[in-house]
Amino acid sequence: MSDTTTTTQETAVRAVFGRLAHRRYEPRLHGTRGTYRFDIEGAGTWGLTIDAGSLTVSEDPGEADCVIRCGAADFVGVAEGTLNLIVAALQGRVRVTGDLALGVSFNRLLPVTP
């Protein structure tokens, strides 16, 4: 993968997390509490905390209730709604560990569009 592709993917991932941070609250998650860690190949590690629908994004978080691992292109596809999270997990493109119910709840945030 070229440096340009890596930079473009990293920028796309950063944009997704920026849009999530800008939301601040998601009413469909008003009964949800938990933490996510996203280990995204080529784009770093990101965190998302949901507290009764309130969203907080962080870079380089620690432990989390649910860990989602994937490549940057797959993450952006899931976030933008062109790739289904559950299908991607069944295909082995995305790995979800920890609290799987919380992992499925991430679908309520999708798509993350501008």
Q: Are 34 and 50 in contact (CB under 8 A)?
A: yes
> What is each CA distance from 103 to 27, 49, 57, in whole angstroms?
17, 12, 16
- How far apart (Å, rounded) are the C-alpha atoms in residues 75 and 77? 5
- pLDDT given for residue 92 in this prediction: 97
Helix (H) or strand (E) holding 79: helix 72-80
Other Cβ atoms within 10 Å of 11 Cβ, number: 13
What is the rounded distance in angstroms from the CA atom of residue 60 to the CA atom of residue 37? 8
> Considering the domain boundaries, does residue 44 fall inside one?
yes
Task: Provide the domain count of the chain.
Answer: 1
Query: Would residue 28 count as lying in a domain?
Result: yes
Token pair, residue 29, equals: 């998650």
Over residues 31-60, mean pLDDT: 96
Residue 112 forms part of a structural domain: no
User: Which structural domain range is residue 58 located in?
Assistant: 3-107
CA 56 – CA 112 distance, rounded (Å): 15
- Give the mean model confidence (pLDDT) for residues 6-33: 93
| Residue range 64-102, pLDDT digits in tens | 999 999 999 999 999 999 999 999 999 999 999 999 999
In a domain, 36, yes or no: yes
